[in-house]
Structure 1
Amino acid sequence: MKKRNAPKIESARDAIPEGVPAQEDPKKKNGSLGTKALTALICLAVLTYFGIQVYTSYADPLISAVAYTYQVEDTISVTGFVVRNELVMEDSGGKLLRLNRSEGERVSAGGKVAQIYSDQASLDRQTEIDKLQTQLDQLNYASEAASASEAALKMDSQIAEKLVAMRRAVASDRLDTASDSVADLEALVLRRDYTYTDAEDLKAQTANIQSQLSTLKAQSAGSTRTVTAPKAGLYSAVVDGYETVLTPDTVDTLTPSDLSSLQPSGASSDLGKLVLGDTWYFVVSLSADDAKSFTEGASEKLRFAKGVDRDLSVTVQSVGAEENGRVVVVFRGRTYLAQLTLLRQQSADIVRSSVSGIRVPQQAIRVDENGSAGVYCIVGVEARFKPVKVLWSADGEYALVRAQGTGETTLRPGDEVILSAGGLTDGAVVSYAG
């Protein structure tokens, strides 16, 4: 039998004559179109997402502010006169004078106020006596110190305290107090140096200074006269002429025109004056509308522009009759008189009321679904609702609030509160624009 050769099967590609284009597989064509459509859809979705984010960021961006502790006060600014019961001391007659009291220092009846010297030599001797007496005190301290190292450490602490006191006095414009602090500071520095001096040297220096003191005191005998206080009171070196014009006996009868026309009497004294008693008065002229809110016997807070660095409790002594739309109001105080001896015509604020709380922008306060007021704060990457109670608010500006939440929902100073953001809910993830 003869074998038949199997027919040769050519591929479809081979079967297509040359010059005739090959036909594309329909399945492959459909797959390519689907991939392109899917890619386009994904790109469109991504662009849409970013477009929405950009629009949201610019249409309602995340704006925040820091909450902090704040106090709001209702005050009335006034200018008035400080009145005290004052006794002007007799003038020294132009002789050489040395005061022994500092401003505001309390003096007992018969206490030494000043010394009057017959000539310049007597004054110079007294200056030298005081200098030697200071050195003697420093030497005695060094001699009695049980341990030089312990004494030095104690001196260091006292020197630091005096430096702080001097800085505080300068900041509060009390140069008289600052001058005293400088003298005390100088004495402390010298005393500290003596703590390291040999014991025998200390004895020799002490004996020498005592000898000089005895000689100078003998020479100055009879050349000085001591001035004493006729009554007990606070000493003040300044006599401004109002001591007899403004007195506690006349403050309740003053009218607005009296206050506006007040003139000092021209009295003066190089010895100064004594402030008697413990009561002082502040007399002001107010508009009739402001004066209506004051009642005799009511307690108020007074804040002087200088002289004392705290609010003073005062009582309304009297409210006068109206004159040309003005009323005289007299306030009475019984504290810190020693710090007010230099004040006369003075600016001050009458503090009617004050509110303390956490300050937040008015725009940040919202009401939740339960009707509770609160603010949204940024905690990590989330917005958290913290309930508050509004204590005071300024129209369209800011408000003072008190935290009402507990634990993590308690609003605290330093929290970052949200003023504006899109889709703001408790627990929502927040992010800044850009």
Structure 2
Amino acid sequence: MKQGSLNARIIMLLLLGAILLTIGVSAWHSLRNLYPTVLAYTYTVNDSTEVTGYLVREESVLTSQGGTVELLPDEGEKVSRGETVALLYQSDASVSQRQTLQQLLLEQEQLEYALAQAGGSSDSAQLSSQVADAIGKLRGATAAGDLTGLESQTMELKSLIYKYGYAFDQNTEESTAALQASLDEVNAQITALTAQASQSTSRVTAAQSGIFSGVVDGYENLITPDMLSTITPSQLEGLAGQNPSADSAAIGKLITDSTWYFACVLPESESQRLVEGRTITVRFSRDWSGDVEMTVERLGDSVDGQVVVVLSSDKFLSDTTLLRRQTVELIFETVSGIRLPKEALRVEEKTVEDVDTGEERTVSVTCVYALVGEWAELKEVTVLAEEEDYIIVTAPTSETETEAQAKKALRAGDKIIISSGELYDGKYIG
């Protein structure tokens, strides 16, 4: 045999082997593709509806007679009866006096600290940490463009730097005497300036305790808790067409009752899912985010298929003082389980033995098949919820469940077969 002929035969055999290998691999992939899988994972679905309504509170508007106003409490802060909630300055000079007084009070604090450190050990390490923290806060606020607290942050940093300097000063009798003289002078200036300021500054005090809010939107008298027992769907929905304006003399308000309400209109069919006295989860996600458990206070009469629903809560009042008209989600029920494609679900015939009589009978079971190793394994499921393209299932439980059955129960992370082809428990997939 010629050498060229032998080489040609070898090449042809190699080509034939490559072709057969390609066909084999393709056939193997085709077989595998008959049984595609998806990963089972835990999932929560809410049976809910979206609705727009109004937050209603017992509110008392605070007013002033003019001048420059300085509000003292923070938004949502609790104030006591008789507590000062605002200072009113009659002129620019009064405002300047107030700023000077604040500077003097800061200097007084610094001098008192320095005197307290005289003759004793100082907590310089703690001060160093506080100075570093104050610098970091100031830089962070400046970088973010948030200048709302710039004055107070600057004063805090200045105070800490003074204290830090005093902590390292030599505590001699002369320096102590000088500090005391400076403190006496500052105290005298504070006394004089306080007397002057009292003549040009007035106070607004709380007539009763409550939660403070600096925002007055005009709804305070337009919708109140007393109206919620009789308000109709048309009256509530009519609020959206109004444009209330706040009192020009208003400087803030007090929320004087810890219970607040959310009033909305639902279709009669949806309202029938609620029961007075029971609770429902209300999810806020627009101007404020949070889930609130609210009590169903009132289900009004149906008018043209619409029902007024009034919900109440005594939680999160300080967090919701700025909210009025809000779109929320009413969550009737929450279902958690394992999410699977609908095509994975099957109904199979299964032979079971009656534990009492020992007789065998055939029953239908709802199940899915999981790929365990290279074999299909039947796993019974209970359908909890069904959506357009997926289902939420869980493994059924039984008091007589064996250890082997427990091991075969569906779990998150299982590879679920979604093929429509023939499957049975123990089938080799390869």
So what's the TM-score if we normalise by structure 2? 0.71
Instruction: Verify: 1:99 aligned to 2:66, yes or no.
Output: no
C-alpha distance in 2, partners of 1:349/1:323?
23
Instruction: Give the share of equivalent positions with the same residue, in percent.
Output: 30
Q: For the structure 1 residues 360 and 224, does the alpha-carbon distance in structure 2 shift closer, same or farther, using more than 3 Å as the test?
A: same
Q: For the structure 1 residues 159 and 254, does the alpha-carbon distance in structure 2 shift closer, same or farther, using more than 3 Å as the test?
A: farther
Structure 1 unaligned spans of 5+: 1-35
Q: For the structure 1 residues 407 and 133, does the alpha-carbon distance in structure 2 shift closer, same or farther, using more than 3 Å as the test?
A: farther
1:63 aligned to which of 33, 36, 39: 36
Instruction: Verify: 1:355 aligned to 2:335, yes or no.
Output: yes
Q: For the structure 1 residues 388 and 423, does the alpha-carbon distance in structure 2 shift closer, same or farther, using more than 3 Å as the test?
A: closer
Q: For the structure 1 residues 423 and 253, does the alpha-carbon distance in structure 2 shift closer, same or farther, using more than 3 Å as the test?
A: closer
1:127 aligned to which of 76, 95, 99: 99
* CA contact 1:60–1:420 (8 Å) conserved in 2: no
1:87 aligned to which of 52, 60, 68: 60
Aligned pairs for 1:33-44 (under 5 A) are none
Instruction: Verify: 1:335 aligned to 2:315, yes or no.
Output: yes
Q: For residue 272 of structure 1, give the secondary structure of its aligned residue in structure 2.
A: strand
Which one has a bigger Cα radius of gyration?
Answer: 1
* CA contact 1:386–1:410 (8 Å) conserved in 2: no
C-alpha distance in 2, partners of 1:162/1:374?
59
Report the Cα offset of residue 240 of structure 1. 1.6
Q: For the structure 1 residues 271 and 43, does the alpha-carbon distance in structure 2 shift closer, same or farther, using more than 3 Å as the test?
A: closer
2:390 aligned to which of 395, 398, 419: 398
Instruction: Verify: 1:235 aligned to 2:212, yes or no.
Output: yes
Deviations 1:394-415 (A, max 9, x none): 35732334467767977345x5
1:149 aligned to which of 121, 125, 132: 125
Q: For the structure 1 residues 140 and 305, does the alpha-carbon distance in structure 2 shift closer, same or farther, using more than 3 Å as the test?
A: farther
C-alpha distance in 2, partners of 1:307/1:343?
7
Aligned pairs for 1:193-212 (under 5 A) are 193-194=161-162, 196-199=164-167, 200=169, 207=183
Q: For residue 338 of structure 1, give the secondary structure of its aligned residue in structure 2.
A: coil
C-alpha distance in 1, partners of 2:94/2:411?
71
Cross-structure match for 2:226: 249
Report the Cα offset of residue 140 of structure 1. 5.8
Paired residues, what number?
379
C-alpha distance in 2, partners of 1:265/1:56?
73
Cross-structure match for 2:47: 74
So what's the TM-score if we normalise by structure 1? 0.71
| Structure 1 counterpart of 2:334, one-letter code | S
Report the Cα offset of residue 313 of structure 1. 1.0
Aligned pairs for 1:255-334 (under 5 A) are 255-262=232-239, 263=242, 266-268=245-247, 269-334=249-314
C-alpha distance in 2, partners of 1:140/1:402?
68
Q: For residue 226 of structure 2, give the secondary structure of its aligned residue in structure 1.
A: coil
Q: For the structure 1 residues 209 and 289, does the alpha-carbon distance in structure 2 shift closer, same or farther, using more than 3 Å as the test?
A: same
Report the Cα offset of residue 189 of structure 1. 4.8
Report the Cα offset of residue 418 of structure 1. 4.5
* CA contact 1:283–1:330 (8 Å) conserved in 2: yes
C-alpha distance in 1, partners of 2:408/2:159?
57
| Structure 2 counterpart of 1:392, one-letter code | L
C-alpha distance in 1, partners of 2:160/2:371?
57
Deviations 1:343-389 (A, max 9, x none): 1111111110011233333344567896583552576xx56748464
Report the Cα offset of residue 420 of structure 1. 4.5
C-alpha distance in 1, partners of 2:346/2:21?
29
Q: For the structure 1 residues 396 and 187, does the alpha-carbon distance in structure 2 shift closer, same or farther, using more than 3 Å as the test?
A: same
Moved more, 278-287 or 264-273: 264-273
* CA contact 1:403–1:412 (8 Å) conserved in 2: no
Deviations 1:162-215 (A, max 9, x none): 999x9xxx9xxxx9xx956x7776566556545642433897788476565455
* CA contact 2:384–2:394 (8 Å) conserved in 1: no
RMSD (Å) for aligned C-alpha atoms? 4.4
| Structure 1 counterpart of 2:41, one-letter code | Y
* CA contact 2:32–2:429 (8 Å) conserved in 1: no
Deviations 1:239-274 (A, max 9, x none): 222111211111121111111223365441432111
